[in-house]
Amino acid sequence: MRLKTVIAHGTHSSPRKSCTTAADGVFIAGTCQGPKDIPDTVAQGAAAAAAALSLIDLGKVNIEPITSVIDEDACAGCKVCISLCPYTAIHFDADKHVSVVEQAVCKGCGTCVAACPSGAARQNGYTNEQIFAEIEGALGLFPEQQQPAEAEIPDGAPVPA
Ligand code: SF4
Ligand code: SF4
């Protein structure tokens, strides 16, 4: 895990919050985050241990469902997505020469999807087809779908003029 992820959340004054990072389940304490004295380091270490324990106590972890995936056949291996992912959720498979999204780490921010020049990175639930269909629906480009259904007139009922 790259250091930028670890220090991303490192400026909060509360030891409980300053020990968290952008990656779920990764906590930090001490001077790896920045200069601090021994009492602050000890307090932060205790907070980090408590935060880790609370996760273990849950027994399970909920992960983001709207993650991105990379199409191996379309990936050009340029690594642009790797440098941009704020959660360091993408690694490079040197054997296949493609990038791979770690599903448990991805937060579904969509940065890699927007940046991928090959269109290889796609976000579950937000494919281009789904987004264009949403836009067309919002703009009313399918007026035939907006016509009210013809009401059935019961037998014997007066027919409106
Ligand atoms: S930016 Fe796109 S083409 Fe480049 S490595 Fe990432 S997924 Fe592959
Ligand atoms: S959607 Fe965001 S968090 Fe997930 S891999 Fe892409 S850039 Fe990283």
Give the per-residue SS3 of 91-131. EEECCCCEEEECCCCCCCCCHHHHHCCCCCEEECCCCHHHH
Q: How far apart are CA 156 and CA 48, in angstroms?
A: 77
Give the position, in ligand 2's atom list, of the atom nearest the Cα of 101. Answer: 5
Only one residue has tokens 């703009």, namely 139
Is the pTM above the cut of 0.75? no
For residue 72, being part of any structural domain is answered with: yes
Q: Would residue 89 count as lying in a domain? A: yes
Same domain, 94 and 43: no
- Calculate the CA 14 to chain-centre distance: 26
DSSP assignment letter at 20? B
Q: How far apart are CA 6 and CA 25, in angstroms?
A: 11
Do residues 142 and 105 make contact, with C-beta atoms less than 8 angstroms apart? no
Among 78, 84, 96, 111, the mutation site with the greatest number of ligand 1 atoms within 8 A of its Cβ is: 78
Cα 147 → chain centroid: 38
- Top mutation candidate among 99, 100, 111, 112 for ligand 1, by most atoms within 8 Å of CB: 99
Asked if residue 160 is part of any domain, the answer here is: no
What backbone phi and psi angles, to 5 degrees, belong to 157? -75, 145
Give the binding-site residues of ligand 1, using a 6 Å CB cut-off.
70, 75-81, 99, 116, 118, 120-121
* Full pLDDT tens readout for the chain, 161 residues: 455 544 444 445 555 567 888 777 889 999 988 899 999 999 999 999 999 998 888 888 888 889 999 999 999 999 999 999 999 999 999 999 999 999 989 999 999 999 999 999 999 988 888 989 999 888 887 666 655 556 666 666 665 55
Name the H helices within the chain. Answer: 3-6, 15-18, 38-58, 80-84, 111-115, 128-138
Domain that holds residue 21: 3-58
Q: Is residue 105 part of a domain?
A: yes
Same domain, 53 and 80: no
Same domain, 49 and 96: no
